[in-house]
Structure formats: C-alpha cells, structure tokens
Amino acid sequence: MLNLVVFFLEENKTKAEETKEAANKLFQAMKYEAAIDKYSEAIKLNPTVAAYYANRSFAYFKTEAFGFAVADADSAIKLDPSYTKGYYRRAAANMGLCKFEDARRDFRIVVKRSPGDKDVKSKLTECEKIVKRIAFEKAIEVDSPKNLAETFDVTTITVESSYDGPKLEDGKITKEFIEEMMERFKNQKKIHKKHAFQIILAVRKIMLETPSLVDITIPQDSKLTVCGDVHGQYYDFINIFKINGVPSETNMYLFNGDFVDRGSFSLEVILTLFAYKWLYPKSLYLTRGNHETDDMNKVYGFEGEVKAKFSEEMFELFSETFSTLPLAHLINQKILVVHGGLFSRDDVTLDDIRNIDRFGKKQLEHGSLMCELLWSDPQAQPGRGPSKRGVGIQFGPDVTESFLKRNNLDLLIRSHEVKENGYVIEHNGKCITVFSAPNYCDTIGNKGAIINITSDLKLDYKTFEAVPHPNIRPMAYASQFGGLFT
C-alpha cells in the first residue's frame, strides 16, 4: 500500500513538471490566462514547489492581477524562504499596487542575496527615490493647499513667432485647430505650451461644474460611442475616429477612463480628448479611470512623459484636472457606465454616486465608493470576492442583477480589463466590458472594441486590430520600472 502511495506521489510530481513546462510555453506565447490555468493544474498536482507559485505570480502580474500575484509570491516564500525569485515577484507586484515601501523591503532582500545583479540594484534605487519623494511631498503638504490652476496666468506665456503649429485665436477652440493639432501629434510634434495649458484649464473649468454622475440623453438623430481604455496608444486612438467618425454634435463619444499611462503617447491622447471636450462639451464625455491618479501616473509613465515633453508644472495641472473628472455616466436613464465596477455594499443607489465628493482627490481612499467604482471587476461566481488586483472587489452576477434592479437600470457597461476580442458580455448579458487599446502594451495581441449606442438603446459592437506606431516602446517614460510592466 505504501509503495502504491509513493508511486502516485511520484507520478503526480512528474505530471506537475510536465504541466509546468506546458504553462511556461503558454506564457512565452503571451497566453497569460491559459498559462495561469496550467500553473494552477501543476500546483494542484504538487502544491509543494515554490517555483510553480512564483511562475503563476508572474502570469498574474502580466494580467495586472497584482493582488493575486502578491498572494502567490507569499506562498512561494512560505514554502521556501530562501527562494529569491519569490521576493522579486512580490516586490514587482507591490510596485504595481503602488505599495512602494513593501516593494523596497523585498528589493533590498533580493539585492542582498544577489549583489551582482545590476538590474535589481537599479530598481531598488528607483524605488528608494519614490519612497523618499512621497515622504517629502507629505512633509511639505499644508492643510488647505492652493491649486496651481487658481494662480496660473496663461496670458503671461508668449507664443514665439518661430512657432509653426496651430494657434488658438482669441483663446477659443475650433475644429480646425484640433485637426491640425492631431496631424502634428501624428508626426511626433508638439503644440505650443501656451495652447496646451489653455486646453487643460478650459476642461478643468467645465469639469468643476459637472456632477459626479452625468446624465446623457442620446438624441434621435445621433449615436453615442462608448470607448474603453486607450492607455496612451495615440495611433490606435485616432484609428477609432478613422473607422467610426470624428466627434461631432451627432457623433457623440464617451471615453470610459484610463486615457493615460502604459502607452508612450499619453500626452497626445489626453490633449486631443480635452480639446474635443472643450469644443463639444455636450457630445464628448470623459469618465475618470483608476489611472487618472497621481500614484498610477508616477509608476506607469504619464508623469515622466509630461515632464519630458513639457514641464512638472503641466503635470500638476493635469493632476488637478483629473481630480475633477466625473465618476459615472447614465445613458437614457437605463445604462450605467463606470470605469471599474460595483460595490462591497448592497444598498448603493444612483444618488449615492451623485453625492460623492470627488473634487481634489488625487489619490483614492481604499474601500470608498469612489475607489470601488474605479477599481472593481466582475467575477463568474455569485457573491463578492477579494480583488485580484488588491484594490476594490470582485462582484458576481447576482450583485449586478440586484444593483440594476434596485436602481431601475437595464445594463452596466465598464472597462478596466483587457479582453481578447476587445469586449465581453457577462452576468447574463447585464455586464459588458469594453477595452479599446488593441495589442495592449505591444505584447498582448488583443483586439480593441467600441460600442455604438442609438437613441433606442440598441448596441452595436465594432472590433479592430492595432495599427503601426513609431518605434517608441510602451512605458518609455517610466524610468527603471518600465521593464517590470512591459
């Protein structure tokens, strides 16, 4: 009997190794979800191997499930405290969660064990800089900080005669200005800083007068296109307009958060969106995403990009403007559109969303309604579960059904997650995810998608492939951490 048990244990170990190798091949082919399933099979066959958890941690990391990635790294370290890669995986995942002090602690362990690894040393150095910078910023905070926007005088900036780009005449936006600006961006040129500042300040003024939950009514002769994350992929972003038409009073758009970060043309994306918002305030709508926050922008590239292309002052104005963006949109009283998802509470109403005080919140308070709106994800199982990201929650089909019924709604549309075909319909057709950044980060190979909605609330899905872009890698402005996330 003992020999039989030993035989089965050894057979399971062999199968686990074969399964792990199959998972590795899927990972190398960038089929991360499939790789996660295979690593899970290997762990089930032999739950005593630290490397299996560390490998699955890396696959979770690639799908931005940073919460699960940390948990797997914890398991690897618990099984083998001497397994250095477990600490590295946990440090990387905590960077993804913007838990910089936790990441620093693990990077220090890895450096101590591998003193000759220059890559890890550079990541520790960069992490140390972020921790010190955050501590310094907290130390100089005052109780009632004055917004830069309130003291900034754009009229003092002179447009040089040598500037050959589009100009805002009399401080007013025009369709012609935007078209010329977009073409200039396409050719990797900038607009004058004065006009960039004018665009940002104009949109901030609009948003200060905008409620947290925006009501949208689609006129009979119009359509509204809902777009998911575009993440700084400017050339894919303008391709949406090529295949679906540019924004106009009848060709309405709702961009559902995560305009910036990851892609290295985030500045071009956000200035184009802001310019169209200024031109068509009742036809182009913008929802705040979880990447329209300071902590994300410090890690994922937008802050570095704005500073490299313009200035720290401009990033501060963007930051102040992001904290004025609305959190949700209600289409024809029946379709709720949010970036992330639903809540840890059962009793949330539309009025609760309307009453969220979002202004000035450059960071999100974990557990708040605002945080859950921007971070939560759907799950297949009923009920609620811990977030795979480590922030927000996961909510099941019954949670969606109950929320929609309580608020007399038909449908929830959200974004926040890359999908192979650009969109997915879940929760008995009541929850739709749309993601509009094809071949996300130049690595995933997914399609992008948009949803066209008519006045009678009929939905039409369009999918599209990525288009070529200049040879600038994603996260090019994210310093040493770019290599972690691409």
Question: Please, what is the end-to-end C-alpha distance for the chain in angstroms?
Answer: 50
Cα 230 from chain centre: 9
Helix (H) or strand (E) holding 353: helix 350-354
Half-sphere exposure of 355 (CA within 13 A, CB side): 5
- Please state, in angstroms and rounded to a whole number, the distance separating the CA atoms of residues 297 and 84: 29
Task: Compute CA distances 325 → 40, 98, 181, 252, 259, whole Å.
Answer: 40, 22, 23, 18, 12
Which residues make beta-bridge pairs with 378? 395
Report, in this order, helix, strand and coil percent for the chain, each rounded to 5. Answer: 50, 10, 40
Task: Compute CA distances 341 → 217, 247, 374, whole Å.
Answer: 22, 26, 7
- Sign of torsion over alpha carbons 280, 152, 288, 485: positive
* Contacts of residue 179, Cβ cutoff 8 Å, sequence gap at least 6: none
Cα 416 from chain centre: 6
Phi, psi of 63, rounded to the nearest 5 degrees: -95, 10
Do the bridges between strand 284-286 and strand 411-414 make them parallel or antiparallel, or are there none, so unpaired?
unpaired
Q: Return the number of other C-beta atoms located less than 10 Å from residue 408's C-beta.
A: 9
- Please state, in angstroms and rounded to a whole number, the distance separating the CA atoms of residues 145 and 143: 6
- Sign of torsion over alpha carbons 277, 279, 281, 284: negative
Helix (H) or strand (E) holding 201: helix 193-208
Q: Of 231, 291, 339, 416, which one is the catalytic site residue?
A: 291
Gyration radius from the chain CA atoms: 23
Tokens 């190979």 — which residue?
445
291 a catalytic residue? yes
- Please state, in angstroms and rounded to a whole number, the distance separating the CA atoms of residues 191 and 39: 48
- Please state, in angstroms and rounded to a whole number, the distance separating the CA atoms of residues 18 and 28: 16
- Catalytic residue set: 291
